[in-house]
Amino acid sequence: MTAVRLWRFSHEDGDALDCLLAPGEGDEQHGASPPKLPRGLTPPTHLERAETLYRQRQARHRAFPGQSRLFREPAWDMLLDLFIAREKGQTISVTSACGGANVASTTGLRWLGNLERQSLVRCWRDGADNRRRLVELTPEAEAAMRSYLETI
């Protein structure tokens, strides 16, 4: 079986073109970079790539409702959710970050604590509502996410 990669290219009129490429097709690095694009096509943005990954993970969660615990990666779901929010200029509350990872609040808080200790997220009190805590990616985590998303 030959592995293929799917590249989604956005055309200037807003339509998307999906291309299946064999490893190494279109470049010298065996599929590590997108191929040279026809005029008018652009590779997906970091935001589009992150949203696709997040939607795929949510679909998998819904497809296996009784077994979704087998596929849990709360830290990764939170990182994706926070990256998407940053790209859209949105601020995420700690409660929302836990919900976005499809885990109980206690589990989400534990994972956010782990991410904070690893300097991947920063939490702070909302100046408008002192009861609410907000969370965002650190610059280092954002750079790591961009680097990863560039490879897929």
Please write the tens of the pLDDT for every residue from 70-105: 778 999 999 999 999 999 999 999 999 999 888 889
First to last CA, the chain: 20
Give me the CATH number covering residue 105: 1.10.10.10
pLDDT at 33: 58
In the predicted model, residues of the chain with pLDDT beneath 70 are 1-37, 68
**Number of domains making up the chain:** 2
Q: Are residues 145 and 77 in the same domain?
A: yes
pLDDT at 14: 47
Structural domain that includes position 21:
5-42
pLDDT at 91: 92
Name the one residue in this structure whose structure tokens are 């009129």. 13
Q: Are residues 63 and 131 in the same domain?
A: yes
pLDDT at 98: 92
